[in-house]
């Protein structure tokens, strides 16, 4: 059945591309760059038709950021009661597919933190443009913003915008609790006059999700026994990453990058957006544009993992920290399509690592006194015959001056002796500290290396074992890709409505691949029965997964895997040589530093012996 535009031209309805509470969206066959939204209500109310016409009349400057209607749609030519709206087709993916790690890996595989910053800035520019023309987005959520492969963004479902036209205000009557600002929680959206400040709450949430790679600002680890759903956390201003909240209700979830991994100016914008005072003045879109531009110009690349890009003022790479604590690499980068072509090492390669480790037995060295002959010579040189008792010192006795002179000399030398004693004690303690430091390094090398030594010793049979292991890994990767095709928000699970789906998404459960028992148990207000239903849904999704057993993998595919195995062995060899070099460096460095302590100790020991000898002479 065709749909007619306002000029009376007929268009063919194509494939369905989306569905929602108001209607279903289809492609237009004759015009692939356009789509048509067919509303459930037939015909549309007069107010809805008036709003669509008002949206159609908005300035072209907005159309770069919003898929505004271009025409109303009718069931027949000449009809005056519309039931559809034609609008530009926007490709790309929903914004949550970019900030969510699983979606980003599938749809934006080469996206780095720099790309997320660019997308966040483009989002702020879009809000800035809409607000400059008097538009209030109103129903800000992750479903109505599309991201293109180059990071540009477009709003869809623009018929929910709040606009003013010819003195009439068309309100935005929709809202999602998880995106609704605290001051509007629990309030009916029907006919409610929204403000740009309300929009700015959703903008700040989306920017946070982008900069924190999918971490939701109002989802965290409860403090005490307080379990908060995301909308309840919003209502109570429980920003999980707030460093100094009036009352701490949530802590950042485990494995989340810290707030201080971003510049203080951006951290302050988040606090202004999410704290209680935000109801009156949240950061504007223009403020976000400026600070995101500054952030983009002050980035550095991680020396350990080049795909990790982060703010140059951070103390450490936040993505490496997430990888260490949560075992999740949020930015994996693009793997090399052609692994290096290397031959398997010979059976003798790398065994020097085992030899080096067997020699790595640091011992606590004791600082020792100089030989007695050295001490005697030093004392003799310090006490020439002319200064021994008698001579002119004896003459001082005649005038009663000798005692006073000797007492003064002894006091001065005792002061020097005390300094030497303190210095000797300090050197002994520092020698122990030195040993403890190097001993810790040595223990770490000894703990890390045995598995590597074993792998290098037994690498002659590495192909078969590694191929089987790689097959299991490939199967698991394929399974995860399969499960990511099943999305929670499209699933029909008894007891899991839109609100609970929003809570799941806020805690990183977006697809069947994200369903893990530990993650489900951390969710607030999800009892055992609900968790079991979600797990059963995940298991049902897995039952349709197929992967060939190891003995049926094609030879061509196995050959590719063999190349990967060879590359892995080469990596082990490189690591083995690094550890061997570290062993040699450790032993040499410890010996050199200890030698410096020993030289200083010998000098101070000699000084002490001289001072003691001088005092003994003066007292005779």
pLDDT in tens, 351-362: 456 566 666 666
CB atoms within 10 A of CB 175: 24
Q: How far is CA 620 from the centre of its chain?
A: 75
Q: What percent of the chain has pLDDT over 90?
A: 35
Cβ distance 81 to 39 under 8 Å? no
pLDDT at 389: 40
Mean pLDDT, residues 228-250 taken together: 90
Local confidence band at 306 (pLDDT 50, 70, 90 cut-offs): confident
Please, what's the b/e burial string for 477-516 (b: 16 or more CB within 10 A of its CB; e: otherwise)? eebbebbbebbbbebebeebeeebbbbbbbbbbbbbbbbe
Nearest by Cα to 210 from 127, 112, 300? 112
Fold matches, 1-89 and 92-326: no
Q: What ranges do the domains of the chain cover?
A: 1-89, 92-326
Structural fold of domain 1-89: Phosphorylase Kinase; domain 1 (3.30.200)
Residue-level pLDDT at 340 = 30
Confidence class of residue 16 from pLDDT cuts 50, 70 and 90? very high
**For residues 546 and 511, is the Cβ–Cβ distance under 8 A?**
no
CATH assignment of 92-326, among 3.40.50.2300, 3.30.2040.10, 1.10.510.10, 3.10.180.10 = 1.10.510.10
**Cα 609 to Cα 376: distance, rounded to the nearest angstrom:** 9
Pair 344, 463: CB distance under 8 Å: yes
| pLDDT value for 369 | 80
Quick count: other Cβ atoms within 10 Å of Cβ 186? Answer: 9
pLDDT digits 0-9 by tens, 367-392: 888 888 878 888 778 775 545 444 44
**What pLDDT is attached to residue 467?**
60
Rounded Cα gap, residues 34 and 157, in angstroms: 13
558 or 534: whose pLDDT is higher?
534
Distance spanning both ends of the chain, measured CA to CA: 125
Give the single-character DSSP code of 508. Answer: T
pLDDT at 508 over 90: no
Q: What is the pLDDT of residue 558?
A: 58
Please enumerate in sequence order all residues whose Cβ is within 8 A of that of 277, keeping only pairs 6 or more positions apart, or say none. Answer: none
Q: What are phi and psi of 524, to 5 degrees?
A: -75, 145
Asked if 219 contacts 240 with a C-beta cutoff of 8 angstroms, the reply is: yes
Using an 8 Å Cβ cutoff, are 480 and 542 in contact? no
Q: What sign results for the dihedral spanned by CA atoms 340, 344, 346, 350?
A: positive
Give me the pLDDT at residue 150, please.
Answer: 87
The arithmetic mean of pLDDT across residues 48-69, rounded, is 92
Q: How far apart are CA 472 and CA 492, in angstroms?
A: 31
Q: From CA 204, how far away is CA 214, in angstroms rounded?
A: 13
DSSP 365: P
What integer pLDDT is reported at residue 560 of this predicted model? 63
Cis peptide before 43 (omega within 30 of 0): yes
pLDDT of residue 553: 60
Could you tell me what percent of the chain has a pLDDT over 70?
83
The confidence score (pLDDT) of residue 29 equals: 93
Count of CB atoms within 10 A of residue 337's CB?
5
* φ, ψ (nearest 5 deg) of residue 26: -125, 155
Give the whole-angstrom CA distance, residue 31 versus residue 89: 9
The pTM (predicted TM-score) of the whole model is 0.62
So what's the pLDDT on residue 463? 52
Exposure string for 2-19, b = 16+ CB within 10 A, e = fewer = ebbbeeeeebebeeeeee
Indicate if the pLDDT at residue 344 is higher than 70.
no
HSE at residue 7, side-chain half, CA atoms within 13 A, is: 6
Task: Supply the mean pLDDT for the chain.
Answer: 82
Q: Is the per-residue pLDDT at 469 higher than 60?
A: yes
């Amino acid at each position: 059945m065709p749909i007619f535009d306002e000029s009376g031209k007929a268009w063919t309805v194509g494939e369905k591309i989306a569905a929602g509470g108001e209607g279903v969206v289809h492609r237009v066959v004759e015009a692939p760059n356009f789509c048509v939204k067919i509303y459930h209500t037939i015909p549309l109310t007069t107010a809805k038709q008036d709003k669509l016409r008002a949206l159609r009349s908005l300035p072209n400057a907005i159309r770069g950021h919003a898929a505004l209607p271009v025409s109303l749609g009718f069931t027949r030519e000449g009809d005056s009661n519309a039931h559809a709206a034609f609008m530009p087709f926007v490709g790309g993916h929903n914004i949550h597919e970019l900030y969510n790690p699983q979606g980003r890996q599938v749809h934006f595989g080469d996206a780095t933190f720099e790309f997320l910053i660019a997308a966040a800035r483009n989002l702020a520019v879009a809000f800035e443009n809409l607000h400059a023309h008097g538009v209030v987005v109103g129903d800000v959520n992750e479903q109505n913003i599309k991201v293109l492969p180059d990071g540009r963004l477009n709003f869809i479902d623009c018929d929910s915008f709040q606009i003013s036209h010819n003195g009439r205000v068309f309100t935005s009557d929709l809202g999602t609790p998880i995106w609704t600002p605290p001051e509007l929680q629990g309030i009916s959206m029907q006919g409610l006059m929204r403000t740009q400040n309300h929009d700015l709450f959703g903008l700040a949430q989306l920017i946070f999700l982008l900069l924190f790679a999918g971490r939701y600002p109002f989802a965290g680890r409860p403090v005490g026994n307080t379990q908060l759903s995301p909308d309840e956390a919003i209502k109570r201003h429980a920003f999980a990453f707030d460093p100094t909240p009036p009352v701490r209700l949530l802590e950042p979830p485990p494995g989340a990058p810290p707030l201080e991994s971003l510049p203080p100016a951006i951290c302050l914008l988040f606090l202004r957006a999410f704290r209680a005072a935000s109801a009156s003045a949240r950061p504007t879109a223009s403020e976000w544009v400026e600070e995101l531009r500054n952030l983009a110009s002050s980035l550095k690349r991680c020396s350990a993992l080049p795909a990790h890009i982060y703010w140059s003022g951070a103390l450490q790479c936040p993505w490496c920290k997430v990888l260490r604590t949560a075992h999740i690499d949020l930015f994996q980068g693009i793997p090399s399509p052609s692994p290096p072509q290397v031959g398997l090492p010979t059976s003798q390669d790398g065994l020097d690592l085992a030899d080096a480790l067997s020699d790595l037995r640091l011992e606590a060295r004791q600082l020792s006194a100089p030989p007695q002959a050295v001490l005697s010579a030093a004392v003799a040189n310090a006490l020439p015959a002319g200064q021994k008792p008698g001579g002119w010192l004896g003459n001082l006795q005649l005038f009663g001056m000798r005692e006073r002179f000797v007492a003064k000399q002894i006091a001065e030398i005792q002061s020097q002796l005390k300094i030497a004693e303190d210095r000797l004690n300090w050197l002994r303690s520092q020698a122990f500290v030195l040993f403890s430091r190097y001993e810790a390094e040595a223990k770490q090398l000894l703990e890390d290396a045995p598995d590597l030594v074993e792998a290098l010793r037994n690498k002659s049979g590495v192909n078969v074992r590694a191929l089987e292991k790689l097959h299991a890994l490939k199967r698991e990767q394929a399974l995860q890709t399969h499960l990511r095709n099943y999305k929670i928000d499209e699933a029909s699970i008894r007891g899991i409505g839109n609100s609970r789906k929003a809570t799941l998404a806020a805690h990183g459960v977006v697809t069947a691949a994200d369903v893990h028992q530990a993650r489900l148990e951390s969710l607030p207000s999800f009892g055992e029965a609900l968790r079991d239903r979600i797990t059963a849904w995940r298991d049902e999704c897995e039952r349709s997964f197929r992967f060939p057993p190891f003995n049926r993998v094609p030879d061509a595919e196995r050959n590719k895997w063999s190349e990967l195995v060879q590359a892995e062995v080469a990596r082990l060899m490189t690591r083995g040589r690094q550890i061997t070099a570290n062993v040699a460096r450790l032993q040499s460095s410890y010996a050199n530093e200890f030698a410096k302590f020993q030289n200083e100790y010998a000098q101070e020991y000699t000084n002490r012996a001289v001072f003691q000898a001088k005092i003994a002479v003066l007292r005779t």
